Amino acid sequence: MLKGNMLIGQSGGPTAVINQSLVGAILEARKHDAITGILGARHGIVGIMNEDFIDLTTQSEAQLEDVARTPAAALGSVRLKPGKAECKRVFEVFKKHNIRYFFYIGGNDSAETAYIIAEMAKEEHYDFCTIHLPKTIDNDLKVTDHCPGFASAAKFVALAFIGDDRDNAALGGVKINVVMGRDAGFLTAASALARQAEGQGPHLIYVPESTFNIVEFQRDVKTMIEKYGRCVIAVSEGIIDANGDPIMTSGEKDSHGNLQLSGTGALGDFLSNKVKEGLADDSVRVRADTFGYLQRSFPGVISDVDAKEARDVGTFGVNHAVNKGDAGSVSIRRLSSQPYESECFITPLSTVAREATSLNAEYIAASGHDVTQAWLDYLKPLVGDLPRIGTL
Amino acid sequence: MLKGNMLIGQSGGPTAVINQSLVGAILEARKHDAITGILGARHGIVGIMNEDFIDLTTQSEAQLEDVARTPAAALGSVRLKPGKAECKRVFEVFKKHNIRYFFYIGGNDSAETAYIIAEMAKEEHYDFCTIHLPKTIDNDLKVTDHCPGFASAAKFVALAFIGDDRDNAALGGVKINVVMGRDAGFLTAASALARQAEGQGPHLIYVPESTFNIVEFQRDVKTMIEKYGRCVIAVSEGIIDANGDPIMTSGEKDSHGNLQLSGTGALGDFLSNKVKEGLADDSVRVRADTFGYLQRSFPGVISDVDAKEARDVGTFGVNHAVNKGDAGSVSIRRLSSQPYESECFITPLSTVAREATSLNAEYIAASGHDVTQAWLDYLKPLVGDLPRIGTL
C-alpha cells in the first residue's frame, strides 16, 4: 500500500458545495493509515508552487462541517492553468514533502493539470496517486452524468426565475436575465424549472448551443408579448452569433485566455436596448438583470442531492486512491431518476481533461429558444422540490 | 357598523411577503359580517379605474396559503400614482360597487393615494374606511419601526454577501455589489450582517445618505486591498455626489418621475472602471454585480419575522377597519429586540403619505463607508439566523 502525505487543492470558479468534497476527502483520509499527513494547498496550484500549505489534520469535525456547508473554496482557489515548467515545480514540491496522494477539486482544466502531473510521476517512477474531484456549476465535464456544484446553482437559477416571473407578472413588460455558462447552456436551461403552469416564464431560453440571431430574438420577444402580454427571458452569458463570436463581452481575458463574461452588466444592457429597438413602443417596460456570482456561491438554497454527492465524491476519491491506487477522475453514474439514485466511479483522467461537453441536442427544443421535457426529467431529481407557486 | 363590500389592491415594487398581507386581510375579512363581499383590484389603481376585479371570497385556504408564500404581487401591481381626476374616477367606482372598505398595500405613494381618496369620501359624506397596509423593501416609510418586505430582502442581501465574500476570498480582487434602494440605504446597510469575523466583507458600504466621492472611493478601495488583500463593496444604486445628483443612472424615468436605477448594470460597470483606474494595476481582478430584482422577489430565503408581520399587518388592518372604522396606515411598533416582539398600531394616513424616511445618522459610521453596531442591533432580530461561515 502506498504510504505518505496527502495534498488537496481547489481550483477554478467556486461552487456552493465544493467544500463538501474537500471535507469528504479530509474526513475519509483521517481514517486511513496509508495517509500519514493531510495538507491543503492555498489557492490551488499557486499554493503548491509556493509551498503555502495548511495542516488539515487538526480541525474538529464540527469546524469541518461548518466549512462543508459554506459555499466557495475554503482553501482558496485559482484560475492559473500551469504549463510544463510549473508542473515540474509542482512535482519537485511533491517529492520534497513526500506527497503520495494528490486530490485536485476542479473542472476540466484541473483534470488536465492532474493528468500532466500523473504522467510526470509515471515517467520518473515516483509512486504516486492523483485523483481529480469534479466540480463546476457549468455541468460541462465529460463522462459524468452531472457535476457537483451544478444542481445548487440550478436551484438558485430556478428560484430566481420563479420569483422574477411573478415580479414580471405583477408589473408587466420584458425582463431579461443573463445566466452564467460560458460555453454550455445547462445553467440557463435550468430556468425552465421555474414554470409550474402555462403562461409562466421564462418564455424564451437562449443557450450558447443554439446560434443567437438578434432579429429573430426581437421577433420572438414580440410574439411572446402578443401571446402573454409580457416576456421573461433566460439568456446565457455565452450566446454566440452565426460566426461563433460571443454576442457581447467586456473584452477582458482571464489567464486561461477565456473572455470575461461575468461581473459585468454589458450583455443584459445590450439585449435590453435591442428589445426596445425591436418593439419601438416606449410604453413597454424593459429591464435586464445579470445574475452574476450569486449563482455559484449563494448559501441559502443548496440542493440536498448536490451537497450529498459532492461529499460522496470526496469520500469515494480518497477511498479509491488508498485501496486501488490508480489515478483517475471521480464521476457520477445515475442509476435511477425515480427514485433518484446514483453512484460514484472512476474514469481515466484523460477522458475528462481539457475538453468539455455541452447541452445535448435532445435537451434543446426545435425552436432553438426553449428546452425539452427530457431536459426537465434529467434536471428535476438533482435540484429537488421547489416552492409551489400560488396564483389567484 | 359600516356594512358593504371590501376592495383590496397592491401597488409599487413587489416584495417577498406582500401576498402575506393580502392573504391576512382576505382571511380576516371572511370572518366579519360587516364585509359583504371581497374584491381584489388587478394592478392596483388601474384595475379599480377599469373595474377589473377578482372575487376573493371563493378561494380555498390552501390556495390562499400558497399565494401567501409566493413572492411578488398576486393581484398584479402598478407604478401609477393617480392624480385628482383619477382619484375621482376611483371614487365613482367605489360608490357604484358599494365599496365601504378599501385596503391598499404599498409604500408612501400608496398611502398618499389612500389619503386623497379618504379625504374625498369625507367631503362627499360617503361612509367609508381606507386602510394603507405598508410594504417596501426600501424600509423607508415613516412612523413604523420597519416595513414588511424589508427583512426578507435584507436576508437575501446578507446571504448574497456571505456567499460572495467567500467567493472573493477564494479568488481575490475587488468585488462591487450594487444593492437596491433609491433614496434610502437600509438594504445596502443590511450587507453588514454578512460579517461574522474580522476581515470578512463587505469591507466598504456606501449608502445614499452619505455623499459619494469618486476619489475617496478609489482611495478607500486601495486601503482595503493593502489591509486585506482584497475588497468586497456594497453600494446603493442611489448613491449621490456632493450636488445631490445620482452617480449614474440609465436616464429613464418611471411614471412617478423617478429615475430608473434598477434593471441595468450601468452603475456597477462604471464603478468597476473607476476602481481599475484608481488601482492602475492590471493584476487586480475587478468585478461588479447588480443584484437587481432578485432582492425583492426571491422565494427561497424569506425571513420568518417578516412573513409573520406582513400577515399580521393585513389581519390587523381589517380588524381595525371593521371595529374602529377610521382611516389610517398600519404601522409596526417594536416592543423588544431580545427576545424580539412587536405589535401593530394605526397611524393617520397623513403621517405616512408622500414623504419617506432614510437611514438614521446613528446607523452610519463616522467614516461614511460603514454602519454602526446600533444598526446591526436593529436589523438582526428582523432577519433572523444566518448560516454560520466555516473557514480553515
pLDDT at B258: 53
Q: Are residues A251 and A371 in the same domain?
A: yes
pLDDT at A81: 84
State how far residue A109 is from chain B, nearest Cα, in angstroms: 16
Q: Are residues B192 and B68 in the same domain?
A: no
- Only one residue has cell 374616477, namely B89
Is pLDDT of A245 > 70? yes
* CB-CB neighbors (< 8 A) of B259 in chain A: none
Contact criterion met (CB below 8 Å) for A175 and B293: yes
SS (H, E, C) B301-343: CCCHHHHHHHHHHHHHHHHHHHHCCCCEEEEEEEEEECCEEEE
pLDDT at B266: 81
Q: Are residues A260 and A329 in the same domain?
A: no
Is pLDDT of A318 > 80? yes
pLDDT averaged over chain A? 94
Q: Are residues A188 and A268 in the same domain?
A: yes
* CB-CB neighbors (< 8 A) of B272 in chain A: 263-264
Indicate whether B392 belongs to any domain.
Answer: no
Select the more confidently predicted residue: A348 or B354: A348
Indicate whether A266 belongs to any domain.
Answer: yes
Active-site pick, B66, B127, B138, B183: B138
Chain Cα centroid distance, residue B136: 2
Closest residue in A to B170 (Cα) is A76
Q: Do A166 and B77 touch (CB under 8 A)?
A: no
CB atoms inside a 10 Å sphere around CB B59: 18
**Assigned C-alpha cell, B307:** 412573513
**Assigned C-alpha cell, A84:** 510544463
Query: Which of B10, B67, B161, B171 best tests the A interface by mutation, with the highest count of A CBs <10 A?
Result: B171
Judged by CB atoms within 8 Å, which residues 99-158 of B form the interface with A?
155-156
Q: Are residues B269 and B346 in the same domain?
A: no
Residue ranges of chain B whose pLDDT lies below 70: 249-264
DSSP 3-state of A41: strand
Alpha carbons B115 and B106: distance in angstroms, whole number: 13
Contact criterion met (CB below 8 Å) for A204 and A220: yes
Domain count, chain B: 2
pLDDT at A51: 98
pLDDT in tens, A67-76: 999 999 999 9
- CATH number assigned to the domain comprising residue B17: 3.40.50.450
Q: Do B290 and A166 touch (CB under 8 A)?
A: no
Question: Could you tell me the pLDDT band of residue A324, with boundaries at 50, 70 and 90?
Answer: very high
ipTM confidence = 0.95
Q: Are residues A122 and A172 in the same domain?
A: no
DSSP 3-state of A385: coil
Q: Are residues A181 and A199 in the same domain?
A: yes
Indicate whether A389 belongs to any domain.
Answer: no
Q: Are residues B318 and B186 in the same domain?
A: no
DSSP 3-state of A214: helix
Q: At what angle do helices B373-383 and B304-323 cross, to 10 degrees?
A: 80
Calculate what percentage of chain A has a pLDDT beyond 90. Answer: 89
Indicate whether A391 belongs to any domain.
Answer: no
Q: What angle do CA A189, A193, A196 make, to 5 degrees?
A: 140
- Read off φ and ψ for residue B4, nearest 5 degrees: 160, -165
Q: Do A387 and B299 touch (CB under 8 A)?
A: yes
Alpha carbons B177 and B205: distance in angstroms, whole number: 10
- pTM given for the model: 0.96
Closest residue in B to A255 (Cα) is B283
Q: Are residues A66 and A214 in the same domain?
A: no
State how far residue B64 is from chain A, nearest Cα, in angstroms: 7
Q: Are residues B156 and B143 in the same domain?
A: no
Indicate whether B137 belongs to any domain.
Answer: yes
Indicate whether B390 belongs to any domain.
Answer: no
Q: Do A387 and B70 touch (CB under 8 A)?
A: yes
- For chain B, say whether A232 makes contact (Cβ under 8 Å): no
* CB-CB neighbors (< 8 A) of B265 in chain A: 264-266, 268-269, 288, 290
- Domain containing B256 equals 151-300+359-383
Contact criterion met (CB below 8 Å) for A13 and A149: no
Q: Are residues A294 and A158 in the same domain?
A: yes
pLDDT in tens, A166-218: 999 999 999 999 999 989 999 999 999 999 999 999 999 999 999 999 999 99
Q: Do B392 and A75 touch (CB under 8 A)?
A: yes
- Only one residue has cell 468539455, namely A356
Cis-peptide into B134, omega within 30 deg: no
Sheet containing strand A340-347, edge to edge, reads A53-55, A35-41, A4-10, A99-106, A129-134, A328-337, A340-347
* Nearest CB partner across the interface for A293, out of B19, B164, B392: B164
Chain Cα centroid distance, residue A184: 10
Judged by CB atoms within 8 Å, which residues 61-80 of A form the interface with B?
63-79
Indicate whether B15 belongs to any domain.
Answer: yes
- CATH number assigned to the domain comprising residue A264: 3.40.50.460
**Using only C-alpha atoms, what is the Rg of chain B?**
22
Indicate whether B388 belongs to any domain.
Answer: no
Q: Are residues A179 and A252 in the same domain?
A: yes
- For chain B, say whether A301 makes contact (Cβ under 8 Å): yes
| A254 noted as active-site residue | no
